[in-house]
Amino acid sequence: MNVTKIIESALKQLGVLAAGENAEASELVDALYSLQGVLAQWATMRLYVNKVQEITLNLTGTATISPDALDNPALVASIQHVSDTATLDGEPIRLVRDTNTTTTNPAVTYSVSGNIWTFSGTGELKFKAFSLPYALEPGDELVLPPQYERALFLTLAVELAPMFGLEPTQMLLLNQRNAIEVLRRSNITPLYVKNDLDIGVSGYDECY
């Protein structure tokens, strides 16, 4: 879900925006910090929401991705998970981790060592990577399971209320607490967080 849409949904919960209205640029900038704080807190409760990043690598053997430029990677980025569906020279393929021994002659394999991801193959590789949203922009997309939406909108609305000189209503606070409790009891997390298989389930893989 688009970050701007998430913020605007929270502002509508507060009554700051009416149906059909859009948030101003200054409101979005301020709200982004609150959203990042909410998501960081959720991660401590194992309620994970990830940012989507489209990545392109021109493979001529191997290429690495690392958050540390000192590793001399092909791309400086911090990722936690990757989609196992990708394209190679425009043709759909499935990414295969090096620990997977059930797939023969994969077009592209990858390995993970700490924060360094190494991709092996030949051609233009395009895939989606997922990272914890430490830094957000209004146009970013978040992987937000449907069960998370209400809890996130309400929680962000509570966080944003003081910014607009408002006190959260008792109904808003009650609904927010109930939504979080329901989410935690349901123990619903994205499949790629729980997946311990060699290749991804439902299009995602993990780095644990």
Per-residue pLDDT of the chain (208 residues; tens, 9 = 90+): 999 999 999 999 999 998 889 999 888 988 999 999 999 898 888 888 888 999 999 999 999 999 999 999 999 988 989 999 999 999 999 999 999 878 888 999 999 999 999 999 999 999 999 988 877 888 899 988 888 999 999 999 999 999 999 999 999 999 999 999 888 887 554 444 333 333 333 344 443 3
pLDDT in tens, 60-80: 999 999 999 999 999 998 898
Instruction: Provide the token pair at 1.
Output: 């879900």
C-alpha span between 11 and 196 (Å, rounded): 38
pLDDT in tens, 90-113: 999 999 999 987 888 899 999 999
CATH 1.10.3230.20 domain locations along the chain: 3-49+135-192
Three-state secondary-structure class, residue 208: coil
Q: Determine contact, residues 157/14, Cβ cutoff 8 Å.
A: yes
C-alpha span between 8 and 132 (Å, rounded): 21
- Domain 3-49+135-192 falls in which CATH fold? Hypothetical protein yqbg (1.10.3230)
Three-state secondary-structure class, residue 73: coil
